[in-house]
A and B are shown apart, each in its own frame.
Chain A
Amino acid sequence: MRAVRLNPCPSVVEDLHSIYPALELRGIEKRFGAVHANRGVSMSVAAGSIHGLIGENGAGKSTLMNIVYGFHQPDAGEILVNGKRVTLPAPHAAIAAGIGMVHQHFMLVENFSVLENVVLGAEGGRRLAGGLAAARAALEKLGRDYGLEVPLDAVVSELPVGLQQRVEILKALYRGAEILILDEPTAVLTPQETTQFFQMLARLREQGKAVILVTHKLREIMSITDRVTVMRQGAVVGEIATKETTMRELAEKMVGRAVLLKVEKGPAQPGEVLLEAKNLVVRNTNNVTRVKDVSFSLRAGEIVGIAGVAGNGQSELLEALAGMTAPSEGEIRFRGRYLVREQLDPKARRRLGLAHVPEDRLRVGVVARFSAQLNAILGYHDRAAYNRGPLLDRAAIVAGCEAKMQEFDVRPPNPALRLGAFSGGNQQKLVLAREIDADPAVLLVGQPTRGVDIGAIEFIHRRLVALRDAGKAVLLVSVELDEILGLADRILVMNGGEIVGEVAGAAATEEKLGLMMAGVRGEGSA
């Protein structure tokens, strides 16, 4: 479906604006203390084009876009809009210059209506009512022009994520954006929604808008962009016409070395059932059912993937299995024990050999303000190995952390460093090291490569496969279909809290999974 290529070169080139690029950056420099976030970055985005911006975490993409949107001030360099130099001391200046930005995390007031959200901050006059009526008319026109129809009176929190994203885009367009920056826009979308989204982007391109697509997904760059800028360590390492490059070339530019995009693994050799969930029902604190009657089993020597669009119950399922929340109904059997009936907490489950790498690493899996060594014992802090009498054994803790850092190539290998100072990939490697080092029989992993660099992704994937090959079981929850397809021996698809289907890893395709993720029941419903 991403093969759908939509008029790469629109016919509006004769437009007046096209003498100058819509946006041009010249020699942008930005330092944060010792961190040189942008080193002389130059790039040029033409009106009526979609321009990709890729790079690993910490490559300086976000800093650059925040400079363009007026959040940060460059230490040096120039920003030109339609050939004219502009200074952007704050976002409102950027908006005035025709620059709009849609953040990865939406900036909407959840209990306002769509209309109110769009108008917020651009009310245009003291009396709200008049402004609202005018805004309604304008938004209806925008919706028709760009295929961005949204129910204007619906409350935002009741809209699906895809529509919320449209609201963000409408907001930018309503404020007169000619240059639209989209930061990782597809992270929250199903493959089908992504296709629709790209069709909409193509409409924007036809209308002469300049679109900057910030992403780490190489396939998206290949399928929709006209040109692509690659950043590494704060500098631009290449600006290429998309037609003239390949995914492999882009990946190598990003990482600075050759990378494997797919982990090689042999066929699985499933053994005994280690973990078995039976009719699990999980309700959240508002008593909304998030997991509906889920049953499955996990065998030694296999990786089972759980696919699904974010927010379809996978997170809650994972937390219930790990013992962070208690299911309202059902039972979890693990190596002969009944985890629900025995009310075993996460610590007790770890002792039995059930380790857990949580989805939201920073919020759940670590304490960002603690040192790496203290994070390396989280959940294992009362093990005899780390204690001597009533006191924690510092030497053992440091030594343990050093060993983990070495084995998992955590950089910098400094156990005393505050965890928050490590990059996302290194944080994740440390968490993985902590959980794998405890030699679990089953590893629960959520979003193992979220916010992780390509180089580290490869490493993490290899470790998971190694764990499987050592006869352990891995339950992998990920919203990255590529990841599921690349790693899982069996794939369960979740939608609306239910498992809507199971597919063997070898037989799975993106289309098949995508339909199931959208709620169409597939073969062999569990």
Chain B
Amino acid sequence: MSAPRKLPRWAELGLLPLVNLTAALLLSGLVVRLLGESPWAALKLLADGAFGSQEAVGYTLYYATSYIFTGLAVAVAYHAGLFNIGAEGQAYVGGLCTGLVCLGLGTWPFWAVLPLAVAAGAAGGAAWAFIPGWLQARRGSHIVITTIMFNFLAAALMTYLLVNVLIRPGQQSPESREFGPGGVMPPLHELLAKVGLTFASTPLNLSFVLALLAAGFVAVFIWRTRWGYALRVAGENAAAAGYAGISPARVTIGAMLLSGALAGGLGLNELMGAQHRILIDFPGGAGFVGIAVALMGRNRPLGVIGAAILFGALAQGGSQLSFDMPKVNRDMVVVIQGLVILFCGALENVFRGPLARLLGQREGGA
């Protein structure tokens, strides 16, 4: 009988995530304690590792860039009432297309390659998302199942291509040759150097700016255009969409295309930005982190950016933590990330009630 309690906006968007995060960190601290290390020192290492230096910030934002793309992908699909688990596969195929452009046109000037690489990544991701979207819209095949299946198909396709077609001859590692200079996204420290600012050398690159632009685009598209309006109506209330003459099938396909295109942006950061070649499994789970990012960011672009930075900080700070505190190994870092997801996603309502009571709000509605 107890409906979800309502909180004031500032508490909903600021206080509640903070409380959830604190709870996750407290529990993580307990685990660190059990390992015989000081939780305080661990937290300090984690924070320092994520934000303590220019390099730390660079890495954190570099990870965040990937998470912003995949988080936005999941969020857009969510607004249309679709749960896109396939950002990983869409990013994989999108990255392949980006990578092929960079391999083929590496001798061109970067500014000529960039739009083509972006378009190719978006098109590849969109194409990979289109099929599950189409199956959902026309055949009623559940999108969760099909997108999961398409993750595996993408992995199989990429392994085949990298092992048999794209691999640099004579080497063991399933990687393509390195992109030409035109296929390399300028690192941010180089760009900053041009305007006279110095910044530590990190993989953080221009893709971060592109990710922020993508977030801005999503914000405008979803909340300021008639197509976004139709998408949200279909996601909120399919019956009302039918009543309003909004075709749920078209919205489903359209939303998946956009979602896949956003996921396809991952290749810009990972391949053009950091690795400068196509390599096996480059999404590295960012597509799945995107689900947690969207969940935590309440599917809002600003929230997604914030959550992506948090997860970027956990990835970067976590690796520093395991570097300097060997007892906290990489699996422990995954546990900490898991706890954050648990508290901020699955258990987000645990503190809602007490918080609402504390703030003097009562259950709403008669």
Q: Would A and B touch once assembled, by the CB under 8 A criterion? A: yes
Residues on A close to B: CB < 8 A?
31-33, 35, 37, 58, 60, 62-63, 71-72, 322-324, 345-350, 356, 358, 360, 363-370, 374, 377-379, 381-382, 386-387, 390-392, 394
Q: Which of B14-22, B148-156, B174-182, B356-364 contacts A (4 or more CB under 8 A)?
A: B356-364
Known contacts A363-B239, A377-B229, A387-B226; can you find 7 more A-B pairs with CB under 8 A?
A: A31-B362, A345-B245, A346-B244, A364-B237, A367-B240, A390-B225, A392-B225
B366, A356: Cβ atoms closer than 8 Å: no
A33, B362: Cβ atoms closer than 8 Å: yes
Interchain CA distance A60-B240 in the complex, whole Å:
29
Q: Which residues of B contact A324 (CB under 8 A)?
A: 242-243
| Identity of the chain A residue whose Cβ is nearest the Cβ of B360 in the assembled complex | A33
Check if B1 is an interface residue, CB within 8 A of chain A: yes
| Identity of the chain B residue whose Cβ is nearest the Cβ of A349 in the assembled complex | B245
Q: Which residues of A contact B229 (CB under 8 A)?
A: 374, 377, 381, 392
Contact status of A347 and B245, CB under 8 A, knowing A31-B362, A378-B233, A391-B225: yes
A346, B245: Cβ atoms closer than 8 Å: yes
Residues on B close to A: CB < 8 A?
1, 220, 224-226, 229-230, 232-233, 236-237, 239-240, 242-247, 361-366
Nearest CB on A from B18, distance (A): 24
A364, B239: Cβ atoms closer than 8 Å: yes
Interchain CA distance A392-B239 in the complex, whole Å:
23
B240, A391: Cβ atoms closer than 8 Å: no
Partner of B230, one of A31, A72, A366, A381: A381
Contact status of A323 and B245, CB under 8 A, knowing A32-B366, A35-B366: yes
Nearest CB on A from B358, distance (A): 15
B364, A365: Cβ atoms closer than 8 Å: no
B220, A391: Cβ atoms closer than 8 Å: yes
A365, B240: Cβ atoms closer than 8 Å: yes
B243, A364: Cβ atoms closer than 8 Å: yes
Name the residue in B220, B232, B366 with the highest tally of chain A Cβ atoms < 10 Å from its Cβ: B366
| Sampled A-B contacts (30; CB under 8 Å) | A31-B362, A33-B362, A33-B363, A33-B365, A35-B365, A58-B366, A60-B366, A62-B366, A322-B243, A345-B245, A345-B247, A350-B245, A360-B239, A363-B237, A363-B240, A364-B237, A364-B239, A365-B240, A365-B243, A366-B237, A378-B233, A378-B240, A378-B244, A379-B245, A381-B230, A386-B226, A390-B225, A391-B224, A391-B225, A392-B226
Q: How many Cβ-Cβ contacts under 8 Å join chain A to chain B?
A: 87
Nearest CB on A from B124, distance (A): 25
Q: Which residues of B contact A390 (CB under 8 A)?
A: 225
Nearest CB on A from B141, distance (A): 17
Name the residue in B220, B233, B240 with the highest tally of chain A Cβ atoms < 10 Å from its Cβ: B240
B226, A382: Cβ atoms closer than 8 Å: yes
Interchain CA distance A58-B366 in the complex, whole Å:
8
Contact status of A381 and B226, CB under 8 A, knowing A32-B362, A346-B245, A356-B243: yes
| Identity of the chain B residue whose Cβ is nearest the Cβ of A382 in the assembled complex | B226
| Identity of the chain A residue whose Cβ is nearest the Cβ of B235 in the assembled complex | A367
B362, A346: Cβ atoms closer than 8 Å: no
Q: Which residues of B contact A37 (CB under 8 A)?
A: 366
Contact status of A366 and B240, CB under 8 A, knowing A374-B229, A381-B230, A392-B225: yes
A379, B247: Cβ atoms closer than 8 Å: no
Q: Which residues of B contact A348 (CB under 8 A)?
A: 245
Contact status of A369 and B361, CB under 8 A, knowing A387-B226, A391-B225: no
Interchain CA distance A258-B348 in the complex, whole Å:
50
B243, A346: Cβ atoms closer than 8 Å: yes
B226, A32: Cβ atoms closer than 8 Å: no
Interchain CA distance A391-B222 in the complex, whole Å:
10
Interchain CA distance A322-B239 in the complex, whole Å:
13
Nearest CB on B from A453, distance (A): 14
Q: Which residues of B contact A345 (CB under 8 A)?
A: 245, 247
Interchain CA distance A311-B316 in the complex, whole Å:
60
Interchain CA distance A60-B366 in the complex, whole Å:
8
Contact status of A370 and B361, CB under 8 A, knowing A345-B245, A364-B243: no
Interchain CA distance A368-B232 in the complex, whole Å:
12
Interchain CA distance A368-B363 in the complex, whole Å:
18
